[in-house]
Amino acid sequence: MTVPREQFHEQPQEQGFQQRHDWTLDEINALFALPFNDLLFKAQQVYRAHFDANAVQISTLLSIKTGACPEDCKYCPQSGHYNTQLEKEKLLEIEKVVEQARAAKEAGASRFCMGAAWRSPRDKDLLLVEEMVRQVKAVGLETCMTLGMVDGEQASRLATAGLDYYNHNLDTSPEYYGEIITTRTYSDRLETLSNVRDAGMKVCSGGILGMGEDAKDRSALLQQLAKLSPHPESVPINMLVKVPGTPLENVEDLDPIEFIRAIAVARIMMPQSHVRLSAGREQMNESTQALAFLAGANSIFYGDKLLTTGNPQADRDRALFAKLGLHPERRETCESEATQAARLAQQAQQQVHAKRVAELAVDASV
């Protein structure tokens, strides 16, 4: 039975769907081992206790600086360690970013995500990024960024600029991590997430499935995500996109049913998080995507590209939504009078940085 929408936030404690941070691997493995129908039924119960089960949050992702990343992530076409024929690009001009944000809002997105291929942002780059956040928020969108590792001061600056979400994925289990990345540690990633949370921003963190990991690694990844307190507000579950030139280009495909199981277990373990059906949708047929939504996925990236890999066209997404009876999650993104007044009061201070930002934009380097 569907829980009435007005009870979405009243039922979880009574029904035992509260947040937990103490999931054991045995418990998680037991969820994965459930008969498929039972697992999806349980996920739907949790899902409907917290969300409108027919609403999907829509984000758009833009690469604001592409290629030549010093990290050696084996799945990534932007790594400078591999020859993927990807043309590197310097940091985008602020005006072009804002133009893309306006187009995203017109297409139905409520959140605008910006990604840069850095190990960590430099000070002069961060000044430009802060201005991007301010101007994209003025368009009336939630903002999200992924810029690599950030320390406490950098996270605080991004929060002060108004950044809503920071994305930093754990990628895989602690045990399998060294098979995928050697240039930054698992603890580095956890430290960045801690800095983001301490700065007052929301956390977007998930992982990539189908990188040759075992089933136990998928359980351990979800365990690590659920240990975060509070849970990440957004949990992207990616299916590996195999890019020629990367070390994982010939890895064996993950069974789509195993991917759907991971979506369902993530929904059960992190009941109040948005679980995002992320990279890999281009390779999924409509039936697989429909099962993902049934399993509790309630967020997608919208548009024709995810940083440097393909994504279903917006028209295809709209057609699928119509076929399934889904609709974009509606959120209030316009400024209130109080927020507008506060923003206007800060404009004088922001103008102090404007000249410096303009100078940096001229020589923003790769």
Residue 276 among the catalytic residues: yes
| 69 labeled part of a ligand binding site | yes
Residue pair 245/239 in contact (Cβ under 8 Å)? The answer is no
Catalytic residue among 111, 134, 144, 189: 144
Residue 334 among the catalytic residues: no
| 334 labeled part of a ligand binding site | no
User: Would you give the DSSP letter of residue 349?
Assistant: H
Catalytic residue among 157, 189, 218, 276: 276
User: Would you give the DSSP letter of residue 157?
Assistant: H
Residue 144 among the catalytic residues: yes
Q: Is the peptide bond before 244 cis (omega within 30 degrees of 0)?
A: no
| 73 labeled part of a ligand binding site | yes
Over its C-alpha atoms, the chain yields an Rg (Å, rounded) of 20
Distances (CA, A) of 19 to 2, 10, 221, 268, 359: 20, 14, 17, 9, 47
Catalytic residue among 48, 73, 134, 218: 73
| Helix ranges (DSSP H) in 93-235 | 94-106, 123-139, 152-161, 186-198, 215-227
Residue 73 among the catalytic residues: yes
Q: Kindly state the helix (H) or strand (E) to which residue 291 belongs, with its residue range.
A: helix 286-294
Catalytic residue among 48, 111, 113, 261: 113
Catalytic residue among 189, 204, 218, 261: 204
Residue pair 197/7 in contact (Cβ under 8 Å)? The answer is no
DSSP states of 227-286 as a string?
HSSSPPSEEEEEEP---TTSTTTTPPPPPHHHHHHHHHHHHHHSTTSEEEE-TTGGG--H
Binding residues: 69, 73, 76, 113, 144, 204, 276
The catalytic residues are 69, 73, 76, 113, 144, 204, 276
Binding residues for [4Fe-4S] cluster: 69, 73, 76
Binding residues for [2Fe-2S] cluster: 113, 144, 204, 276
